[in-house]
Structure 1
Amino acid sequence: MEKRLYLAGIVTLLAGMVFGFEYEPYWPGTEIQNDNWLYLERDTDQLPMDADRVYQPVTLPHTWNALDTLETKKYRQAASWYRKNLMITPEQLKQRLYLRFGAAGQEAKVYLNGEELGAHRGGYSAFTFELTGKLKAGENRIDVWVSNKIKNDLIPQSADYNFYGGLYRSVQLITAPEVSISRKHFGGPGYRVWSEQVGDDSADMNVTVQVDNGSSKASSVTVAARVLDLDGRPVSTGRADVQVKGGETRAVDLKMDDVKNPRLWSPEHPELYRVEIALSQNGRILDSVVVNHGFRWFKFTADQGFFLNGKSYKLHGTNRHQDYYRKGNALPLDQHLADVKLMKEAGVNWLRMAHYQQNDYFVQLCDQLGILVWEEIPYVNKGKPELIEPVMHSMMKDLIEQHFNHPAIILWGMGNETWMKDRGDGYAHNYDLIKGVRDLVHREDPVRKTVFVIGDRNYASELKVVGLMDVFGYNLYRGWYGSTGYQSLTDRLNELHAMNPDTPLILSEYGAGSDLAVHTEKPRQQDFSIEYQNDFLESHLDQIEKLDWLAGANQWAFCDFGAAHRGDSIPHVNQKGLVTFDRQKKDAFYLFKSRWSTEPVVYIESPFWTERSGKPKKTYRVFSNMDTVEFFHNGRSLGKQTEGFRWAVTLVDGENTLLAKGVSGDVQLEHGFSVRFGDKEAKYLVRASAEEAANPASHLVDGNLNTRWGAEGEQTIDLDLKKISLVNGVKIKFYKGESRTYKLEIKGSSGGKKSTVLFAGESRPDAELQTFLFDRQQELRYLQVFAKGNNENNWNSYYEIIPIVTLEKQNKNLYETIGEEFAQ
């Protein structure tokens, strides 16, 4: 038996070498069932009896919110139905069969041939139903009800991200023998592998296997495991002979040999051993699995930061939401791989999976490529403790069981920025709820630590919640929300440290939004310029590195992500990413890479700003980790620098070529781009239906109140503000006349085909420059003035059209309001 098990391990190792980072399912006999699904967008709890032709063909992963979350704040939160006609052969009926769903947002019910198999609550964890004895040879119909409605006994109930609906991860058909390793244990693999005592000289090994007897008779079996090192040699073994009753699932613990001189796992060296587990009877293998295992130990301290494998280690981290532009959260596996590779390129060694359980494959990649992980359940903002406690416990149990075997994970998170009030005795109203989940974590996992997160407030300390946790996180957006600048970060962190001297702290979120199309020479808070984000993050990186007691920090967020309620420069998107929603690298990506990565970096800020105006003397900053950088303008060297990396450049009219060359030893790297400079640049783009060389529409936006445009009859004037802006109205200077009034209609849009009428009426005859305020502030990029002519000669004649644009929102969305409250 042991020889067969060893050979199986060699085959698995060779497969890993050939296929690289292929998705590794928990069990053999796993078939992906993502093709040939049918979708019915019908908000009903009643099982549809419609013919298949009524449905729409879809392929999983699938969400019905991939597009509407980008178009409206009120995206579809309702129920839909999925159907699949599953073909089962007589051979398959001889084994046990299971259907495993990777996730369904936010709850689901599953039916087989019209009979309900069961339900699952929670939009982020996997769930499994056994089909054995309920299938027939030939076609079997699977119906799945999925709903993303908000409910007061389900979490999350509100958050700064979208609650996508759908079957947005893979579905698996799994076969197993009658007596097997469990395929249905809380949606997880049915086996656990861990090490509690790890050192340079030796490490213990612990294995627990859930043996599932699907027969009606007791069965005597042998459970065996062996650990193979990176060269395929066995370094630890263990076995146990047990009897499992008919219909029983029994947990079997194996006493394993210690592993001598283990090669330790770290983000820099993600060494993975292979653990093989086999279930046999009378020398015949019934079932077997293979799992990766990494030996590492870690420690969070309140006064010295974080330690990995006995050495001080700075956690350079970020946060990750799982969605993508125009795909929602229905990501193919190759996008998960692309995301991890991007993070590794930037030098990320530490990731918070916000704010929910993420894809099995993504966590697998963190093991293989080397990123430490904090994973959490979606307790965000609010929820009545007495209503949400059951689902919080089930979510945490699912999370731990499903991702327990991943060495990358070191923290289990229990919540984010939840609202707290004094219950009357100096404790938070949700204190017992949080404590109960914490206790569950410590019962279930003897190795990982617990963490909870709050915003920029003191009440978690005052209401005793900080003391519950092994580690505590603070989300601080100083310089983005509130009136304090980003230079106040150090003082605030030191204040929190003094307030909680015995608890290790993490800066769990910090960030600033940016838009590739927005640039300024005078960056301001919440202007969404690339330059402000760069200044903000550079200051944060400097401050964080100087705080030795701080365990680590997680920038918010690695990728821009969907948040339909937002009205930022790109509506419906949270833009604080180092990369855009469709994974274009922003300047800040290279800033982080120059600080965190050992890979050489030279990058000039900002290649997205290719049109410049104003004064010709500009300052260009270079992000680099190389020993020396030399800067060139139009082929002429402006000198070398070894630190700071900022050059004064005097641009010339027309094209300017910028180039930076970095040198470290024998390594040379360069980055450059061209910039067009002119002393004047129209603030807005304008086009009119009647214009010619002598009557250009540009006179309407040139800032000169003495130049004008005119045309007879009904005309349209289209303005492009170049970016989505907050617009309160429009000012127009008319060609004057004692009794002349102009008939106007003003429309606006953020970029779609649909425009909204914002004003319709006449101008006054008693003023040249008039203001037309909208009923409420608008988020617009495009304005159209439909000019119907004046009351004297049906002529239109205007000197200037000035959109009233502001950076100050009149009506802030929920999360901006919360952010400002936390910053007080």
Structure 2
Amino acid sequence: MKKQLTLLSMLFLMLSLLSCNHFSDEKLTDGKNLFNKHWQFVKQNNGITIEKVIGEDKVIHWEDISFPHSANIEPLVIKGDQWQGTCFYKKQFFVPKKYSHKHLALYFEGAMQVATVYLNGSEIHQNKGGYLPFYIDISKHVIAGERNSIVVQLNNEDNPQVPPGKALKDLDFNIYGGIYRNVWLIVKEPVHITNPLEVDHVAGGGVFVSYQNVSKSSAEVNVKTDIINESLSGKHVYVMAELHDGDTVVSKNSSEVIQTETHTTQILNTNLQVNAPKLWSPSSPYLYTLRVKLFADDEEVDSESYQVGIRSIDITSEEGFKLNGEYLQLRGTNRHQEYPYIGYALSDNANYRDAYKIKKAGFNMVRLSHYPQSQSFLNACDELGILVMNAIPGWQYFGDSLFQENAYKDIRKMIRVDRNHPSVILWEASLNESPMTHEFMEKAHSIVHDEYPYNKVFSCGWINYAYDVFIPARQHAKPPFYWNNYKGEKPLFIAEYGDWEYYAQNAGFNQKAFKDLTDDERNSRQQRGDGQKRLAQQALNYQEAHNSNLQGDAFGDANWLMYDYNRGYAPDIETSGIMDIFRLPKFSYYFYQSQADIDSTSESEFSQPMVFISNYYNDPSFLKVKVYSNCDEIELKVNGNSFARQKPDNDRNSTHLEHPPYTFLLPAFTPGKLEAIGYVKGKIAAKDIRQTPEQAYGLKLWIDESGKPLQRGNDDIVFAYAAVVDTSGTILPLAENSIRFSVGGDAQIIGANPTNAEAGIATVLLKVESTAEMIHLKALSDGLTENELLINLE
């Protein structure tokens, strides 16, 4: 009995220690260790101070969390009252004794926005800025062979010296608190390849990949590797670079062998010749694997791997944008990185799904508005073939000298972190819509070229000064021509269009046919639940503006915007997205999808024939049937009878479109079925059907995986949808039923629950925990047949 009590006491003590200290027993290995699990979190309240946190005050009630993490679950519509304040994260971890002479570092991909880091009770680092990573060498602070305690004090309150700098109540987006991207613990030998942010080297740090003499027959891949010797003696070092095409090494070369002394850095250059390279482009986003190995005294001591794409770009005012020597018109959008409820705390897979939807919508380009976004999103752009305009944080604010210095640092960080992505073609080293001085713009432009000192590198800014490319919004000019009469020397890209000119200037339409529209009906800010007439108007706004942009010399444009989002200064959601905040499409989504050409030689799902009927076929007064398609002809059938077969529209809003829509005017409304059949070269290529909805019967349930199946083990998160349907499965577009979701398995529902359907569909977020293997999702609504979904996880 006494022995049993002793064992129980020991067990209780161990559990208490684990509970109090939240000790992580995860095994460290050489290289990058994902450090997202086994953290604890608390907001600063009830007298909680950093001293109490470091002193492990037992009164503090910690929440067990993992990254990515939002400091606050917000309501769907934040109404200008987003949480701001100080919070704390802590974690205990063990460093084996054998790592006592290793280089150890922490790498935070994103923490909003002033982070003060403590290790074993001492402050070791402070980072200002929430949109870019930071690197902390902890080698001298870690106690090998013992438990170590890390604490991060994080504050996302207004800070006029940290870009974007503007107070949240006046800002056009939200600065959500939390450590919302991945955290890594890096273990390396004293002689190693540096991280891009480990050393403050202009155009240095880590591995820098660039390309010269790129053609279909050959290309040169230049690999510049920044190394450091933190050992106690000098070393003979060299780098070997290998370019892999799958399992095949297509090129391999080594740098010269050099002597590096203790506590010094060196740059090693390696050039690779590639014959018949597979060039990266939006239509063929081919990626090679580059492996860089570092040898010290003939022993391999470090290695890094990257996905790289061989391509060349050029931008001129005379010929526009050229990719691999061929002209390409950019058709783009803008993206904010927020989700409802959780703010910026998206899983890597969720970021991929956002990129997938952009590609699926027919875009070949995205502007990161108005800040750098995650590596997982850029990796997805590389993989899917989406060109990127990268941007430093900024919007309608130009601060003091400290603010400006921090903005310069952001430019350097952005380029050092993102320079190897083949998708990135433009560097927006400009504070969006902010009254920058000439001195600031000159220096910002200069920093871009200092950090990327090769030909065909392009800075851009919204003011026509200093930068390589001029990127105004459409509304920065006046109707009716906007930028179509632009005669400047710089290449022109229209970075925003389709919203403000219809919302505030209200000048988009000058046709008499639209004189009776109210302001709400006329503008581009439309919710999915606002009805098909207003959704059709939003799509027409974008069509008119995009068609107008194509009449000038701009080499591309980016609509405002892809997804609806919350704003600090406004009590409502900004709804000019072509998808809503839940990533459900509006009619305008399909207009853009129709502008992507069909590639008959490709099996890619992004270049196939498509047809979409932008009419619910439920309203006798809405007899205009507009069909979006990239096909040659459309035949419209009403209840099985052919109504018309015709070519695309030829009106003032379609003159320069790749694929104008098709407009059919029905003489009367006959309930039943509309069918649009798309023909390519006389053969049926795609169809769409719209069925008049009948009485509500049940629920249809699905999740949005968008190219990435829901995964366990990485805090993956997806949208779960429940639609009100009739007996034939047709969604009732006017349904607003209250729907409750429930989940079985290691998962949780985030968001209002129950929640009302909007335009027939209710949405929540579904988050998967690490141990889940199967999830049982169910949706219920009074008077309707319930539905359930079994999800097997990878």
TM-score range, shorter chain: 0.7 to 0.9
Q: 1:448 to 1:353 in 2, by over 3 A?
A: farther
- Identify the residue that residue 236 of structure 2 maps to in structure 1: 220
RMSD (CA atoms)? 3.0
Are the structure 2 counterparts of residues 356 and 447 from structure 1 closer, same or farther at C-alpha, using a change threshold of 3 Å? farther
> How far, CA to CA, are the matches of 1:630 and 1:409 in structure 2?
41
Equivalent residues of 1:652, 1:677 under 8 A apart: no
Q: Using a 3 Å threshold, how does the CA distance of structure 1 residues 119 and 268 change in structure 2: closer, same or farther?
A: same
Q: Per-residue deviation at 1:285?
A: 0.9
Q: Report deviation, 1:221.
A: 1.5
Distance in 2 separating the partners of 1:246 and 1:348: 50
Does 2:689 align with 1:672? yes
1:237 and 1:526 map into 2 onto residues whose CA distance is: 54
Pair 1:621 & 2:626 matched: yes
In 1, the alpha carbon distance for the partners of 2:456 and 2:368 equals: 15
Determine the structure 1 residue equivalent to 2:471. 473
1:298 pairs with one of 313, 329, 333: 313
Secondary structure of the structure 2 residue equivalent to 1:355: coil
- What is aligned with 1:254? 269
Separation (CA, whole Å) in 2 of partners of 1:596 and 1:146: 44
* Aligned counterpart in structure 1 of residue 342 of structure 2, from 327, 335, 348: 327
Q: Offset of 1:310 from its aligned partner?
A: 1.2
Does residue 157 of structure 1 match 2:174? no
Pick one of 183, 186, 207 that aligns with 2:195.
183
* Contact 1:161 1:561 survives alignment (8 Å): yes
Q: Distance in 2 between matches of 1:138 and 1:231?
A: 41
Cα deviation digits, residues 298-330 of structure 1 (max 9, x gap): 111113321111111101111111111222110
Partner of 2:555: 551
Change (3 A) 1:184 1:503: closer
Identity of aligned residues (%): 25
Partner of 1:716: none
Partner of 2:34: 32
Which residue identity is paired with 2:389?
Answer: W
Distance 1:452 1:257 in 2: 30
Partner deviation per Cα, 1:731-785 (whole Å, 9 max, x = no partner): xxxxxxxxxxxxxxxxxxxx999xxxxxxxxxxxxxxxxxxxxxxxxxxxxxxxx
Partner of 1:541: 546
SS in 2 for 1:637: strand
2:605 alignment counterpart: none
SS of residue matched to 2:378: helix
2:230 alignment partner AA: G
Answer whether contact 1:224 1:240 (CA < 8 A) is retained.
no
- Superposed, 1:331-370 pairs within 5 Å as 331-370=346-385
Paired residue for 1:503, among 462, 480, 490?
490
- 1:602 match: 611
State the alpha-carbon separation in 1 of the partners of residues 390 and 356 from structure 2: 19
Question: Deviation string for 1:508-563 (max 9, x for gaps)?
Answer: 00123999xxxx9954235732122111111123223333x211111111111221
Larger Rg: 1
Q: Distance in 2 between matches of 1:279 and 1:752?
A: 53
Q: In the alignment, what sits opposite 2:324? A: 309
| Alignment match, 1:775 | none
Task: Output the CA distance in 1 between the equivalents of 2:232 and 2:197.
Answer: 19
> How many angstroms apart in 1 are the aligned matches of 2:154 and 2:76?
18
Task: State yes or no: 1:442 paired with 2:429.
Answer: no
- The offset of 1:46, in angstroms, is 3.4
Q: How high is the TM-score relative to the length of structure 1? A: 0.70
Residues 141-152 of structure 1: matches in 2 within 5 Å? Answer: 141-152=149-160
- Separation (CA, whole Å) in 2 of partners of 1:566 and 1:312: 41
1:323-368 deviation digits (Å, cap 9, x = unpaired) = 1122211001111111121122122111111111111121122122
- What letter is aligned with 1:279? L
Aligned twin of 1:173: 185
Measure, in 2, the Cα distance between the counterparts of 1:36 and 1:594: 46
- 1:493 matched to 2:509? The reply is no
Q: How many aligned residue pairs are there? A: 615
Which residue identity does 2:584 align to in structure 1? Q
**CA 1:417/1:182 → structure 2, altered by over 3 Å: closer, same or farther?**
closer
> Does the Cα contact within 8 Å between 1:410 and 1:448 map onto a contact in 2?
no
CA contact (8 A) 2:238 2:257 kept: yes
Using structure 2 for the length normalisation, give the TM-score.
Answer: 0.72
Query: Could you say which residue in structure 1 is the equivalent of 2:209?
Result: 193
Q: Is 2:415 the partner of 1:375?
A: no
Letter aligned with residue 29 of structure 1: G
Once the two structures are TM-superposed, the CA of residue 178 in structure 1 deviates from its matched residue by 1.9
**Counterpart in 1 of 2:579?**
579
Structure 1 gap segments, 5+ residues each:
1-26, 421-428, 455-459, 461-465, 679-719, 724-750, 754-824
Output the CA distance in 1 between the equivalents of 2:274 and 2:283: 21
Structure 2 residues without counterparts, runs of 5 or longer: 1-28, 504-513, 527-533, 599-607, 650-661, 696-733, 738-751, 755-794
Aligned twin of 2:781? none
C-alpha distance in 2, partners of 1:75/1:629?
48
In structure 2, distance between residues paired with 1:447 and 1:52: 59
The 3 A distance-change label for structure 1 pair 357 and 526 is closer
Q: Retained in 2: the 8 A contact 1:211–1:244?
A: no
| CA displacement at 1:295 relative to structure 2 | 1.9
Task: Give deviations 1:544-599, integer Å, cap 9, x for gaps.
Answer: 3333x2111111111112214324xxx2x221212111111211111111112422
Distance, in Å, in 2 between the alignment partners of 1:226 and 1:554 is 37
2:304 is the counterpart of 1:289? yes
Does the CA-based 8 Å contact 2:563-2:578 persist in structure 1? yes
CA shift in 2, pair 1:140/1:677, >3 Å: closer
Farther off after superposition, 187-196 or 552-561: 187-196
Contact 2:367–2:388, Cα closer than 8 Å, also in 1: yes
Change (3 A) 1:101 1:577: same
